[in-house]
Amino acid sequence: MIKDISEVLYSEEELSARVHELGAQITKDYEGKSPLLVGVLKGSFVFMADLVRAIDLPCEIDFMVVSSYGNGTKTNGAVQIIKDLQVDIAGRDIIVIEDILDSGMTLSYLSGILSERGAASIKICTLLDKPARRMAPVTPAYKGFTIDDKFIVGYGLDYAERYRNLPFIGVLDPKVYS
Ligand code: IMP
Ligand code: MG
Protein backbone atom coordinates (compact mmCIF):
# COMPACT_ATOMS: atom_id res chain seq x y z
CA MET A 1 0.00 0.00 0.00
CA ILE A 2 2.78 2.41 0.93
CA LYS A 3 4.12 2.36 -2.63
CA ASP A 4 0.87 4.03 -3.75
CA ILE A 5 1.47 7.05 -1.50
CA SER A 6 3.44 9.87 -3.09
CA GLU A 7 3.76 12.03 0.04
CA VAL A 8 2.96 11.63 3.74
CA LEU A 9 1.05 14.74 4.82
CA TYR A 10 0.46 13.96 8.50
CA SER A 11 2.24 11.25 10.44
CA GLU A 12 0.65 9.15 13.15
CA GLU A 13 2.30 11.38 15.78
CA GLU A 14 1.13 14.62 14.17
CA LEU A 15 -2.43 13.29 13.91
CA SER A 16 -2.44 12.19 17.52
CA ALA A 17 -1.16 15.55 18.76
CA ARG A 18 -3.75 17.52 16.78
CA VAL A 19 -6.63 15.20 17.74
CA HIS A 20 -5.72 15.67 21.41
CA GLU A 21 -5.80 19.45 20.96
CA LEU A 22 -9.26 19.24 19.37
CA GLY A 23 -10.47 16.99 22.19
CA ALA A 24 -9.20 19.43 24.80
CA GLN A 25 -10.90 22.35 23.04
CA ILE A 26 -14.23 20.50 22.84
CA THR A 27 -13.93 19.50 26.51
CA LYS A 28 -13.49 23.16 27.45
CA ASP A 29 -16.23 24.52 25.15
CA TYR A 30 -18.85 21.99 26.28
CA GLU A 31 -18.13 22.10 30.02
CA GLY A 32 -21.31 21.22 31.94
CA LYS A 33 -22.98 19.80 28.83
CA SER A 34 -23.29 16.31 27.43
CA PRO A 35 -22.98 16.58 23.65
CA LEU A 36 -24.00 13.89 21.19
CA LEU A 37 -21.17 13.17 18.77
CA VAL A 38 -22.50 12.09 15.40
CA GLY A 39 -19.95 10.34 13.22
CA VAL A 40 -20.52 10.33 9.47
CA LEU A 41 -19.51 6.88 8.27
CA LYS A 42 -17.42 5.41 6.98
CA GLY A 43 -14.59 7.93 6.70
CA SER A 44 -14.83 9.32 10.23
CA PHE A 45 -14.45 6.05 12.10
CA VAL A 46 -10.73 6.26 12.90
CA PHE A 47 -10.79 9.98 13.75
CA MET A 48 -13.92 9.54 15.89
CA ALA A 49 -12.38 6.66 17.83
CA ASP A 50 -9.31 8.74 18.71
CA LEU A 51 -11.23 11.98 19.29
CA VAL A 52 -13.76 10.58 21.81
CA ARG A 53 -10.88 9.29 23.92
CA ALA A 54 -9.45 12.82 24.01
CA ILE A 55 -12.74 14.32 25.25
CA ASP A 56 -13.35 14.43 29.00
CA LEU A 57 -17.13 14.90 29.07
CA PRO A 58 -20.16 12.66 29.60
CA CYS A 59 -20.78 12.52 25.85
CA GLU A 60 -22.73 10.04 23.76
CA ILE A 61 -21.95 8.80 20.28
CA ASP A 62 -24.03 7.74 17.33
CA PHE A 63 -23.40 7.30 13.62
CA MET A 64 -25.06 8.11 10.33
CA VAL A 65 -24.39 6.67 6.91
CA VAL A 66 -25.23 8.99 4.05
CA SER A 67 -24.66 8.79 0.37
CA SER A 68 -24.77 11.40 -2.33
CA TYR A 69 -27.30 10.92 -5.07
CA GLY A 70 -25.65 10.08 -8.37
CA ASN A 71 -22.08 10.89 -9.21
CA GLY A 72 -21.90 14.62 -9.08
CA THR A 73 -24.51 14.82 -11.81
CA LYS A 74 -27.14 16.17 -9.42
CA THR A 75 -26.30 19.57 -8.15
CA ASN A 76 -28.95 20.08 -5.47
CA GLY A 77 -26.68 18.51 -2.86
CA ALA A 78 -29.37 16.20 -1.51
CA VAL A 79 -27.99 13.19 0.29
CA GLN A 80 -29.71 9.93 0.99
CA ILE A 81 -29.77 8.68 4.58
CA ILE A 82 -28.71 5.03 4.53
CA LYS A 83 -28.46 4.68 8.31
CA ASP A 84 -30.11 7.17 10.62
CA LEU A 85 -29.52 8.12 14.26
CA GLN A 86 -31.01 5.91 16.93
CA VAL A 87 -31.75 8.68 19.40
CA ASP A 88 -34.08 11.67 19.54
CA ILE A 89 -31.92 14.76 19.15
CA ALA A 90 -34.47 17.40 20.21
CA GLY A 91 -32.76 19.76 22.64
CA ARG A 92 -29.38 18.04 22.23
CA ASP A 93 -26.02 19.67 21.56
CA ILE A 94 -24.75 17.92 18.43
CA ILE A 95 -21.20 17.74 17.16
CA VAL A 96 -21.03 16.24 13.68
CA ILE A 97 -17.71 14.46 13.13
CA GLU A 98 -16.38 14.28 9.56
CA ASP A 99 -13.19 13.05 7.98
CA ILE A 100 -12.94 15.76 5.35
CA LEU A 101 -14.96 18.79 4.31
CA ASP A 102 -14.74 19.11 0.56
CA SER A 103 -17.63 20.63 -1.45
CA GLY A 104 -19.57 20.90 1.81
CA MET A 105 -22.71 19.50 0.16
CA THR A 106 -22.98 16.51 2.50
CA LEU A 107 -22.62 18.51 5.69
CA SER A 108 -24.78 21.40 4.64
CA TYR A 109 -27.64 19.00 3.86
CA LEU A 110 -27.06 17.00 7.04
CA SER A 111 -26.94 20.10 9.25
CA GLY A 112 -30.29 21.15 7.77
CA ILE A 113 -31.88 17.80 8.64
CA LEU A 114 -30.52 17.82 12.19
CA SER A 115 -31.66 21.35 12.86
CA GLU A 116 -35.19 20.54 11.62
CA ARG A 117 -35.26 17.84 14.28
CA GLY A 118 -34.88 20.47 16.98
CA ALA A 119 -31.27 20.10 18.08
CA ALA A 120 -30.29 22.79 20.59
CA SER A 121 -27.00 23.36 18.75
CA ILE A 122 -25.12 21.82 15.84
CA LYS A 123 -21.40 22.22 15.29
CA ILE A 124 -19.08 20.56 12.84
CA CYS A 125 -15.75 18.99 13.69
CA THR A 126 -13.76 17.92 10.66
CA LEU A 127 -10.28 16.47 10.66
CA LEU A 128 -9.44 17.96 7.27
CA ASP A 129 -10.71 20.96 5.34
CA LYS A 130 -10.25 21.44 1.58
CA PRO A 131 -11.65 24.98 1.21
CA ALA A 132 -10.63 25.25 -2.46
CA ARG A 133 -13.52 23.01 -3.48
CA ARG A 134 -16.25 24.45 -1.27
CA MET A 135 -19.63 24.88 -2.98
CA ALA A 136 -21.97 25.06 0.02
CA PRO A 137 -21.41 27.61 2.79
CA VAL A 138 -20.26 25.35 5.63
CA THR A 139 -17.91 26.55 8.35
CA PRO A 140 -16.50 23.99 10.76
CA ALA A 141 -16.29 25.00 14.42
CA TYR A 142 -13.36 22.60 14.83
CA LYS A 143 -10.87 21.51 12.21
CA GLY A 144 -7.67 19.56 12.38
CA PHE A 145 -5.82 20.72 9.27
CA THR A 146 -6.45 22.76 6.13
CA ILE A 147 -5.15 21.03 3.00
CA ASP A 148 -4.61 21.78 -0.66
CA ASP A 149 -6.78 20.25 -3.36
CA LYS A 150 -5.09 16.84 -3.52
CA PHE A 151 -6.68 13.44 -3.18
CA ILE A 152 -5.63 12.00 0.14
CA VAL A 153 -6.12 8.67 1.87
CA GLY A 154 -5.48 6.97 5.20
CA TYR A 155 -6.67 7.35 8.82
CA GLY A 156 -10.19 6.37 7.70
CA LEU A 157 -10.17 8.01 4.27
CA ASP A 158 -10.41 5.76 1.25
CA TYR A 159 -9.95 5.49 -2.45
CA ALA A 160 -12.37 2.82 -3.76
CA GLU A 161 -12.69 1.51 -0.17
CA ARG A 162 -8.94 0.91 0.17
CA TYR A 163 -6.28 2.62 2.30
CA ARG A 164 -8.60 3.39 5.26
CA ASN A 165 -6.28 1.38 7.50
CA LEU A 166 -3.13 3.42 6.86
CA PRO A 167 -2.16 4.97 10.21
CA PHE A 168 -1.08 8.25 8.57
CA ILE A 169 -2.59 10.60 5.97
CA GLY A 170 -0.92 10.71 2.59
CA VAL A 171 -1.41 11.88 -0.96
CA LEU A 172 -2.49 9.07 -3.25
CA ASP A 173 -0.17 8.77 -6.23
CA PRO A 174 -2.29 9.84 -9.24
CA LYS A 175 -0.98 6.82 -11.18
CA VAL A 176 -3.31 4.70 -8.98
CA TYR A 177 -6.45 6.30 -10.41
CA SER A 178 -5.36 7.51 -13.83
P1 IMP B 1 -18.47 16.87 0.41
O2 IMP B 1 -17.91 17.85 1.40
O3 IMP B 1 -19.95 16.79 0.44
O4 IMP B 1 -17.94 17.10 -0.99
O5 IMP B 1 -18.04 15.39 0.77
C6 IMP B 1 -16.92 15.09 1.47
C7 IMP B 1 -16.73 13.59 1.37
O8 IMP B 1 -16.05 13.29 0.14
C9 IMP B 1 -15.82 13.10 2.47
O10 IMP B 1 -16.54 12.69 3.59
C11 IMP B 1 -15.07 11.97 1.79
O12 IMP B 1 -15.82 10.77 1.91
C13 IMP B 1 -15.02 12.35 0.34
N14 IMP B 1 -13.71 12.97 -0.01
C15 IMP B 1 -13.49 14.25 -0.39
N16 IMP B 1 -12.19 14.49 -0.63
C17 IMP B 1 -11.55 13.32 -0.39
C18 IMP B 1 -10.16 12.92 -0.46
O19 IMP B 1 -9.23 13.69 -0.77
N20 IMP B 1 -9.90 11.63 -0.14
C21 IMP B 1 -10.87 10.74 0.24
N22 IMP B 1 -12.18 11.07 0.31
C23 IMP B 1 -12.52 12.35 0.00
MG1 MG C 1 -16.93 10.51 4.10
The fold of the 2-173 domain, in CATH, is: Rossmann fold (3.40.50)
Q: Ligand 1 within 6 A of 97 CB?
A: no
Q: What number is the average pLDDT over the span 160-173?
A: 97
Taking the model in full, what pTM does it have? 0.94
Question: Which one of the ligands is nearest to 106 CA?
Answer: 1
Looking at residue 67, what is its pLDDT? 84
Show which residues are catalytic.
Answer: 102
Long-range Cβ contact pairs of 49-54 (< 8 A, separation 24 or more): 50/15, 50/16, 50/19, 51/19, 51/22, 51/23, 51/26, 51/97, 51/125, 52/23, 53/23, 54/19, 54/20, 54/22, 54/23, 54/24, 54/27
The closest-lying atom of ligand 1 relative to the alpha carbon of residue 130 is 16
pLDDT in tens, 32-82: 999 999 999 999 999 999 999 999 999 999 999 998 755 544 445 678 899
Backbone angles phi, psi at 134, to 5 degrees: -65, 130
Q: Ligand 1 within 6 A of 104 CB?
A: yes
Looking at residue 72, what is its pLDDT? 45
What are the domain boundaries of the chain? 2-173
Question: Which one of the ligands is nearest to 103 CA?
Answer: 1
Q: Which residues surround ligand 2, an ion (CB under 5 A)?
A: 43
Q: Tell which one of 102, 110, 169 to mutate to probe ligand 1, the residue whose CB is within 8 A of the most ligand atoms.
A: 102
Alpha helix ranges (H) inside 41-171 = 45-52, 105-116
Q: Are 138 and 106 within 8 A, CB to CB?
A: no
Q: Ligand 1 within 6 A of 177 CB?
A: no
- Name which of 63, 65, 127, 128 is nearest 94 in CA terms: 63
pLDDT in tens, 79-111: 889 999 999 999 999 999 999 999 999 999 999
- CA dist 95 and 175 (Å) reads 36
* Distance from residue 41's CA to the centre of ligand 2 (Å): 6
What's the one-letter identity of residue 90?
A
- CA dist 65 and 176 (Å) reads 26
- CA dist 177 and 170 (Å) reads 15
DSSP β-bridge partners for residue 49: none
Residue 173 has pLDDT above 70, yes or no: yes
